[in-house]
Amino acid sequence: MTAHRTRGSQDADDLDVEEALALVRENPGPRPPGRAPAPAPERATAPGERAAAPDRRAHATPWAEARAVAERAGRPGRAGRRAPVSVTLDAALGLTLAAPLTALTDLPSFDTSAMDGWAVAGPGPWDVREEGVLAGRAAHPPLTDGEAVRIATGARVPPDTTAVLRSEHGRTDTAGRLHLDPAHGPRTVAQGQDIRPRGQECRSGDQLLAVGTLVTPAVLGLASAAGYDTLTVVPRPRAEVLVLGDELLTRGLPHDGLIRDALGPMLPPWLRALGADVVSVRRIGDDAEALYEAIASSGAEVVVTTGGTAAGPVDHVHPTLHRLGAELLVDGVGVRPGHPMLLARIHDHQHLVGLPGNPLAAVSGLLTLAEPLLRSLAARPAPEPYTMPLRDAVQGHPRDTRLVPVVLRGDHAVPLHYNGPAMLRGVAAADALAVVLTGGARPDEETELLDLPWASSGIGVCFT
């Protein structure tokens, strides 16, 4: 299995699923119609509480609250707002505008032809000039009534043009005069027909897009058309990945108790898809001092660790955070898989997201804590929540939210098998994760979905 082990006594995500099924078997009473209410909120870890090793399971933060805490952590606060940067258009995709996009010119900046055809003046028929008007050429001499000239789409319309007559709407006689072709077009030409007038889209100085707009390919096109070479944007938050564990191989087949590292290849592109600039990936064994030095020396705004978040003999994340004086914002989340995830503020400019070691549990941590934190740091707009009916029933956990990989088929979401904490086979084929509350979900029940970055319209999906 390409998985990280989750060490220590809180490694029991697999056991918790079995526990949930056992509880259902022991209590098979009918569930009332509709989704069962969520359990009463449990006490969240208090801000400022230092990492230690009590029974954190009893104080897990509810899933929705954990996401809200992560989002707030990335907002401007004690550290102030992150300084905007100026980047070229080809580097701006997926970033957020930090200054309004204001038109630097009229669009279009001159009257242009909307079609291939003839620029005509006055009523027809028209004498056709020999020269034509092409896009990108200097201004053409004015037309007089009864004159026409061939013109290409996007070309500058000559002064005193009445309209543009489309190629398919006109015909020339043997003498070379242009006539309307009533069999295929209008019987008259209207003033301004098929001409894009100067300033039709905007005037110089108009605000085209507001601060906070996500830079999409269409935004890049608009910015270029409006005269921009660079854009002022919120920079990508810098992230560093620390892959923990003595048992991990980077090549070859598992052997002698060693397993392949699944998270080292997966996390950097996933974090980039969430909008981060991954500056480094470091592999660290089960060495408390090496972990301390790696976190203490990191210049990244977000440090992401894998495994070591429980309370076993080689789980060094909590003791290291305590040694660093970090503030635990989330210490365990009521979600399966991924319960032993955490979020800590190391100092005003730096946070740490501690992911469980099991691969699907780590994915849960990415979408629960890393995604809202990175989104806030990058000032990206939150995705609109949405629901779809599930095709099949999904069993709920007795206490916690479940995140279950699904594929979208027509107007339903289809739950996938292979959704255990150590499995990636399900999520590798998935379009989204279904958010299944404690009561579970029946067939055709509307259920919230979390899109995976590459399966949604999310911009900034960049894997290089």
Handedness of CA 57, 60, 64, 70 (dihedral sign): negative
Q: Where are the alpha helices (DSSP H) in 61-109?
A: 63-73
Are 322 and 272 in contact by the 8 Å Cβ rule? The answer is: no
Q: Which residues of the chain have pLDDT under 70?
A: 1-58, 78-81, 249, 456-464
Which residues, in sequence order, are CB contacts of 453 under 8 Å at separation 6+? 270, 273, 274, 461
- The pLDDT of residue 59 is 79
Amino acid at 74: G
pLDDT tens across 137-184, in order? 887 899 999 999 999 999 999 999 999 999 999 999 888 899 998 777
Is it true that domain 386-455 has CATH number 2.40.340.10? yes
Q: 372 in helix, strand or coil?
A: helix
Structure tokens at 54: 């009590």
**Other beta carbons less than 10 A from residue 347's beta carbon:** 12
Reading phi first (left if > 0) and then psi (alpha if -120 to 50, else beta), residue 257 is in left
Domain boundaries, the chain: 13-27+40-81+235-377, 85-105+202-234, 112-196, 386-455
CATH class of 112-196: mainly beta
Are 335 and 42 in contact by the 8 Å Cβ rule? The answer is: no
Which residues, in sequence order, are CB contacts of 45 under 8 Å at separation 6+? 56, 59, 61, 328, 329, 330, 331, 332
- The pLDDT of residue 249 is 67
- C-alpha to C-alpha distance for 126 and 147, rounded to whole angstroms: 5
How buried is 417 (Cβ within 10 angstroms: 0-12 exposed, 13-18 middle, 19+ buried)? exposed
Are 89 and 229 in contact by the 8 Å Cβ rule? The answer is: yes
Q: Where are the alpha helices (DSSP H) in 27-154?
A: 63-73
Q: What is the CATH number of domain 13-27+40-81+235-377?
A: 3.40.980.10
Q: Could you please report the per-residue DSSP string of 303-322?
A: EEEES--SSSTT--HHHHHH
What beta strand segments (E) does 27-169 contain?
61-62, 85-88, 96-97, 101-102, 112-113, 117-120, 126-128, 147-151, 163-166
Prediction pTM value: 0.77
- The pLDDT of residue 271 is 96
Structure tokens at 283: 């592999």
CATH class of 85-105+202-234: alpha beta
| Beta-bridge partner residues of 255 | 258
Burial 72-94 (b: 16+ CB within 10 A, else e): ebbeeeeeeebebbebebeebbb
How far is CA 5 from each of CA 65, 245, 251, 450, rounded to the nearest angstrom?
A: 27, 9, 17, 26
